[in-house]
Amino acid sequence: MTLKRVVVTGLGALTPIGNNIQEYWEGLINGVSGAAPITYYDTEKHKTKFACEVKNFNVEDYMDRKEARRLDKFAQYAIAASDEAIKDAGITDDNVQKNRVGVIWGAGIGGLETFQDEVIYYTKCDGTPKFNPFFIPKMIADIAPAHISMRNGYMGPNYTTVSACASSANALIDAFNYIRLGMCDVIISGGSEAAITIAGMGGFNALHALSTRNESPETASRPFDAMRDGFVLGEGAGALVLEEYEHAKARGAKIYCEIGGGGMSSDAYHLTAPHPEGIGVIAVMENTLRDAGMKPEDIDHINTHGTSTPLGDVAELKAISHVFGDHAKTININSTKSMTGHLLGAAGAIEAIASILAMQHGIVPPTINHSVVDEKIDPSLNLTLNKAQKREINVAMSNTFGFGGHNACVLFKKVAE
């Protein structure tokens, strides 16, 4: 069968450096750090006292207070980002068939704050099970796309992909496949996460995964820098409207870009650590190029997973050098996690958006906070350090990897008529 072409017609973002697409983009190109001391709870006894929180979010801008109480923050964030993306795409009841519109969302954890708070409350009771009737529907990871579909009446495929930090990239790939196979006209895709909680921070600290640079939070996320000491936890959501090309043209939609391909792989190596030689990362990028029918030299820009961990950054750059050879030296490589922190299951979505906006504006956002060269990293690679760089981008790649060895990669390209 002939596969359909898939384009992106709407974007929405709620991030630690901006609560909509315009603010997010301005934060990216200006090298703004979203890291600051945590405001959600008392951090006195915690190893890490900072994170990349969403700022000035008012849930009542999106729903009434009664409805908000029935949603965990990760689902509230999903509503905020998807509302913006749907409006941006110009989708109305009159220009889509709702049974041909789906919602495929990513979340690595889901309603962690809800789970935490319910358990804390129970421990303070006399042993009688007392739980909020909305405990389970607030917590489960699949509830975010459910709310998006109910809010808009979309009756196509509706589910959540869960693959740790690769979750929303997996969601985009699934959405891409459903549309190119002709099973849907439009899919709202992306991801959300809200894990900056006592349990979330405590759990990642127990794994020794988080930076403890408490004296300078804004410089703590420093991918590729020799002094990096772990990632900075972030939160928020990113939403993309994926649409079949002819359907988008027929309704006169604005088109940001085309999705060229997607790839997945597994390290099959370790619970939390990447394979030191990046074999799973090599496989996922090669799978993506093969799916897109492209050669390594076609790639202009790679938004790396780049979490600012000692092992992960080196393994990913080794893999890029392996796959792209000498051409790797000509690619603008960056890590926007240096600004947003690591949004876990939502990372793939907001980084896909960053890649698309970089292509649209011809500007690659910087990898901020770099000051000390890591001798384990090839110095000939252009890591877009500290300042944005102007660059014509025809094809961009976005990498995301998760605990358990889950790897996902999505490729975006300018639309050719």
Asked if residue 180 lies in contact with residue 7, where contact means CB atoms within 8 angstroms, the answer is no
Give which of 139, 175, 137 is closest to 154, Cα–Cα: 175
Give which of 414, 417, 410, 415 is closest to 174, Cα–Cα: 410
Written as one letter, the residue type at 99 is N
Question: Which of 52, 125, 165, 184 does the annotation list as catalytic?
Answer: 165
What 308-312 contacts at long range (C-beta under 8 Å, 24+ apart), as own/partner pairs, is 308/211, 308/220, 308/221, 308/222, 308/223, 308/225, 308/228, 308/230, 308/231, 308/232, 308/335, 308/337, 308/338, 309/209, 309/228, 309/230, 309/231, 310/228, 310/229, 311/273, 311/274, 311/276, 312/274, 312/401
Q: Report the distance separating Cα 342 and Cα 160, nearest Å.
A: 19
Exposure string of 172-208, with b = 16+ CB inside 10 Å and e = fewer, is: bbbbbbbbbeeebbbbbbbbbbbbbbbbbbeebbeee
Helix (H, G, I), strand (E, B) or coil at 14: strand
**Is 165 a known active-site residue?**
yes
Written as one letter, the residue type at 318 is K
DSSP 225-240: BTT--SB-BB-EEEEE
Q: Report the distance separating Cα 92 and Cα 321, nearest Å.
A: 45
Give which of 161, 363, 189, 337 is closest to 259, Cα–Cα: 189
134 φ/ψ angles, rounded to the nearest 5 degrees: -95, 5
The tokens 């990760």 sit on which residue? 74
The pair of three-digit structure tokens given for residue 157, joined into one six-digit string: 């495929």
Give which of 148, 140, 136 is closest to 175, Cα–Cα: 148
Query: Residue 78 belongs to what H/E stretch?
Result: helix 73-89
Interacting residues of 312 by C-beta distance below 8 A, sequence separation 6+: 274, 305, 306, 401
Q: Which residues are catalytic?
A: 165
